[in-house]
Amino acid sequence: MDYLTSEDAVYPAWFKYFVWRNVTKLSQFDKERGEFKKRTDSTVAPYPDIYREPLAQIADIYKKVKEDNKNLKEPGIKELFSKKFPNLYAELISKSLAASMENREEIHGEWVKYEQGRDGDAEKLFQSLEGKGTGWCTAGHSTAQTQIESGDFYVYYTNDSSGEPTQPRLAIRMDGDNRIGEVRGILPHQGVESIMQEALDSKLSEFGGEADAYRKKSEDMRMLTALEKKCEEDVQFTKNDLILLYEINGTIEGFGYQKDPRISELRQGRNTEEDM
Q: Which of 118, 183, 142, 129 is nearest to 57 (CA)?
A: 142
DSSP assignments along 46-106, one per residue: PPPPP-HHHHHHHHHHHHHHHH-GGGGGSHHHHHHHTS-HHHHHHHHHHHHHH---S-TT-
Give me the tens of pLDDT residue by residue for the chain, a chain 276 residues long. 678 888 778 899 999 999 999 999 998 888 778 888 888 888 877 888 888 889 999 999 999 999 888 888 888 889 999 999 999 999 998 888 777 677 889 999 999 999 998 999 999 999 999 888 888 988 888 889 999 999 999 999 999 988 999 999 999 999 988 899 999 999 888 889 989 999 999 999 999 988 998 999 999 999 999 999 999 999 999 999 999 999 999 999 988 888 899 999 999 988 888 888
Please answer whether residues 51 and 93 qualify as being in contact, where contact means their C-beta atoms are separated by less than 8 angstroms. yes
In DSSP terms, 117 is beta-bridged to none
Closest CA to 250 of 220, 224, 270, 221: 220
What pTM was computed for the model? 0.75
Q: 221 in helix, strand or coil?
A: helix
